[in-house]
Amino acid sequence: MGFPYRSPRLARDARFSARDRNTEQAISDPDRVLERISKTLRRRLSDRIEPVFQAACMTGELDTAADLLTVLGNVRERGRRAFGDERRISDDPVAKAQEELVTRRSVKLQHVAEPASRHR
C-alpha cells in the first residue's frame, strides 16, 4: 500500500496562482484582540522615566534627577486629568521619588560639608 499523498491526483486544468503582493490581506479580529494585546504590552511613559530617574540618582546627577522628577509629575498629572479621579492612579511613585531626591541631596551636602570642616 502506497502513501496516499506521494502522487496526488490533480485535475488537468488545475492551476496554481500566487496572491497579488500589492493587495493588503484583511485581518479578521472581531473582538479587537490584537489591539488589547498591543495596549497590554505597551509600557507607560512613566514606567520609562522612573528607571532613568533612579540611574540619575545613583550616578549623582541630582539636577537631572530633579528635572526628570518634574517630568514624571507632569506625566502623572496629565494622566489623572485624562482619567478623572481614577483610584488606581496615585502619586505614590512621585512622592517616593521626591523623598529619595531630598535624601540624596542631603547626603551629598553632608559629604561636601565634611571635607571642608576637616581641613580647618
Task: Write down the domain spans for the chain.
Answer: 33-118
Alpha carbon dihedral 67, 91, 84, 43, in 10-degree steps, equals: 70
State pLDDT tens for residues 56-84: 988 989 999 999 999 998 988 887 777 77
What φ, ψ does residue 94 adopt, rounded to 5°?
-70, -45
25-29, 46-50, 78-82: the lowest-pLDDT one: 25-29
Closest CA to 56 of 38, 74, 72: 72
Label residue 117 by pLDDT band (50, 70, 90). Answer: low
pTM for this model (two decimals): 0.52
Element (H, E) at 91: none
pLDDT beyond 60 at 114: yes
What φ, ψ does residue 57 adopt, rounded to 5°?
-65, -45
Residue 78 confidence (pLDDT): 84
Residue 67 confidence (pLDDT): 94
Residue 64 confidence (pLDDT): 93
